């Protein structure tokens, strides 16, 4: 679907942002690019729709070089969602969503039907929201509009540059869940930039870890969690050898709550196995010899890892 062949980006001051990237992103894949600030992840993303021009190498979409596409047609067929929501403040929500379909000369009735369908898809009642202005919406609601605006002209590819990082934790979690549900329905090729490993593990079919303009590791959440390629990836995941060796499931076990839990781990499972399952499910039941003895939540595990890391930092200080 999207292939990078020896792609590099150098700026006039000889600063190298991206170095010799070779990568293939599959059709219908939710592909997350992650790494520390300045590692080149946003540069890599923006080269796909030519917001940043590559210096060396070739990027292809469906086998065709992006430089061979008409620039406007290329961008019309790639949805783009930013951290800064960037809705036009003087336009209604309906008008914001309709921008690209209108540029592509869709019929007005078709545009109105598309706007209504998209708003309903993300839980925003069309009769209530379509004629509002962006300032009348919460941050989470605005970002939902940003997502559906990117989907409006039914593009094959959606680029998302840290779209939820400015939101409060509750809105962020809800939008992550909504995006996963949306992707199951629409099956677009999504390239998503994040600096949050837990977000990457939750959302990604595959994760690309970057450092200093280079790809360090690409794999499924399970592969990255269970087999980090080096100390940098292990550090970025937030799990140290100390955690692996000293982990006791009772440290994160919580009482069983009402309701049936379909996802179960054993109290004998290793930390990497449990983490890989928590990357997919927010809550797990824990069994011991066939009996459920409690639950583990993603939140309780993150609190354990953060506490463990701070204690080791104090010990080494």
Write down all domains in the chain, each with its CATH number in brackets.
Answer: 2-231 (3.40.50.300), 238-316 (3.90.1280.20)
DSSP state of 238: T
Asked if 175 and 144 count as a contact pair (C-beta separation under 8 A), the reply is: yes
pLDDT at res. 280:
77
Q: Is the pLDDT of residue 245 over 60?
A: no
Residues 78-126: tens digit of each pLDDT: 999 987 778 899 999 999 999 999 999 999 999 999 999 999 988 899 9
Find where tokens 């959440």 sit: 221
Q: Residue 307's closest CA among 219, 246, 266, 263?
A: 246
Q: What is the mean pLDDT of the chain?
A: 87
Among 129-133, 154-158, 221-225, 257-261, the least confident range: 257-261
Q: Is the pLDDT of residue 316 over 50?
A: no
Q: Is the pLDDT of residue 173 over 80?
A: yes
Q: Is the pLDDT of residue 299 over 80?
A: no
pLDDT at res. 90:
95
Q: Is the pLDDT of residue 313 over 80?
A: no
Instruction: Name the token pair of 238.
Output: 């937030």
pLDDT at res. 315:
47
Mention every residue, 6+ apart, whose C-beta is less than 8 A from residue 191. Answer: 2, 25, 31, 33, 45, 48, 157, 158, 159, 160
DSSP-derived pairing of the beta strands 78-82 and 157-161: parallel
Among 142-156, 284-298, 301-315, the least confident range: 301-315
Residues 124-142: tens digit of each pLDDT: 999 999 999 999 999 889 9
How many whole angstroms separate alpha carbon 45 and alpha carbon 69?
17
Residue 52: C-alpha distances to residues 49, 67, 176, 313 (Å): 8, 12, 27, 39
Asked if 202 and 279 count as a contact pair (C-beta separation under 8 A), the reply is: yes
pTM reported for the whole predicted model: 0.78
Instruction: Collapse the DSSP code of 196 into the 3-class scheme (helix H, G, I; strand E, B; otherwise coil) and give the result.
Output: coil
Q: Is the pLDDT of residue 12 over 60?
A: yes
Interval 233-262 mean pLDDT: 71
Query: What is the number of other CB atoms lying within 10 angstroms of the CB of residue 148?
Result: 23
Instruction: Name the token pair of 57.
Output: 């190498």
What's the angle, vertex CA 159, arms to CA 52 and CA 10, rounded to 5?
A: 20
Residue 24: C-alpha distances to residues 31, 63, 216 (Å): 10, 11, 15
> What is the torsional sign of CA 33, 39, 44, 50?
positive
pLDDT at res. 258:
65
Mention every residue, 6+ apart, whose C-beta is less than 8 A from residue 11. Answer: 17
Interval 25-45 mean pLDDT: 95
Instruction: Name the token pair of 279.
Output: 């990357």
Interval 196-217 mean pLDDT: 92
Q: Is the pLDDT of residue 206 over 80?
A: yes
Residue 148, H or E segment: helix 139-151
Residues 254-286: tens digit of each pLDDT: 887 666 667 888 888 777 778 878 877 888 888
């Amino acid at each position: 679907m999207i292939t990078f062949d020896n792609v590099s980006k150098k700026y006039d001051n000889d600063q190298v942002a991206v170095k010799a990237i070779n990568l293939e992103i599959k059709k219908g894949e939710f592909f997350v690019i992650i790494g520390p600030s300045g590692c080149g992840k946003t540069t890599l993303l923006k080269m796909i729709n030519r917001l940043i021009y590559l210096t060396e190498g070739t990027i292809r979409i469906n086998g065709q070089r992006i430089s061979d596409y008409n620039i406007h047609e290329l961008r019309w067929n790639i949805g783009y969602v930013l951290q800064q929501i960037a809705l036009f403040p003087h336009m209604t929500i309906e008008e914001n969503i309709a921008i690209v379909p209108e540029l592509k000369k869709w019929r007005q009735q078709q545009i109105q039907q598309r706007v209504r369908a998209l708003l309903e898809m993300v839980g925003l009642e069309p009769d209530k929201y379509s004629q509002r202005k962006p300032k009348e919406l919460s941050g989470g609601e605005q970002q939902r509009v940003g997502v559906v605006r990117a989907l409006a002209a039914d593009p094959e590819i959606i680029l998302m540059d840290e779209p939820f990082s400015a939101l409060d934790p509750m809105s962020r979690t809800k939008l992550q869940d909504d995006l996963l549900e949306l992707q199951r329905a629409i099956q677009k090729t999504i390239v998503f930039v994040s600096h949050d490993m837990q977000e990457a593990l939750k959302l990604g079919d595959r994760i690309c870890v970057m450092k200093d303009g280079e790809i360090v590791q690409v794999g499924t959440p399970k592969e990255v969690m269970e087999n980090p390629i080096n100390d940098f990836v292990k550090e970025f995941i937030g799990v140290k050898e100390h955690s692996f060796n000293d982990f006791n499931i009772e440290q994160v076990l919580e009482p069983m709550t009402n309701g049936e839990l379909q996802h179960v781990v054993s109290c004998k499972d290793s930390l990497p196995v449990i983490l890989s399952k928590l990357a997919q499910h927010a809550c797990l039941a824990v069994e011991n010899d066939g009996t459920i003895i409690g639950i583990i939540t993603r939140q309780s595990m993150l609190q354990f890892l953060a506490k463990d890391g701070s204690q080791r930092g104090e010990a080494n200080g």
